[in-house]
Amino acid sequence: MASKREHNKKQVKPVAVQVKRMFRKGDPVMVIAGGNKNKRPNKGKVGNIMAFVGKKRDRVIVEGVNLIKKHQRQTTPDTQSAIIEKEGSIHISNVMYYVEKIRKPVRLKSQFLADGTKARGYLDPKSKDFVQI
């Protein structure tokens, strides 16, 4: 049986570790998955990343995508109640970087350039060359 000293020790909760990601705020992304099985209103939509949210920062808010309605209650006599539409979060695995030039989503990768600096970019689908963002 455990002693009183061991029994009374506080258990430490594990700290949420942030997910490693290639996206940055303002990057254009396309929704590639997620949502209801029968109807996916967000799939194929394109928008810019507005913020990273969630405990692990593994969810993104994309501009104009996944709109939800929030019923705002009247809190003071001078404010009015309303139904507000705002963007909901999407898991980072359900979006891909979108390139307007080729009109396709691409997978981001990093590569060291000739001068030794690390650059963010993608492989061109046709020529297979690295294109820096």
Look at residue 125 and tell me if it is in a domain.
no
Placement of tokens 């650059």 in the chain: 119
Look at residue 101 and tell me if it is in a domain.
yes
Domain range for 89: 19-105
Look at residue 12 and tell me if it is in a domain.
no
Look at residue 45 and tell me if it is in a domain.
yes
Q: How many domains is the chain built from?
A: 1
Q: Tens of pLDDT along 2-11?
A: 566 666 666 7
Q: Tens of pLDDT along 80-114?
A: 999 999 999 999 999 999 999 999 999 999 999 99
Q: What is the rounded average pLDDT for all residues in the chain? A: 87
Residue 110, beta-bridge partner list: 120
Look at residue 133 and tell me if it is in a domain.
no
Global pTM?
0.77
Look at residue 127 and tell me if it is in a domain.
no
Look at residue 117 and tell me if it is in a domain.
no
CATH number reported for the structural domain that contains residue 41 in this entry: 2.30.30.30
Q: Are 14 and 21 in contact (CB under 8 A)?
A: no
Look at residue 112 and tell me if it is in a domain.
no
Q: Are 42 and 90 in contact (CB under 8 A)?
A: yes
CA atoms within 13 A on the CB side of 14: 4
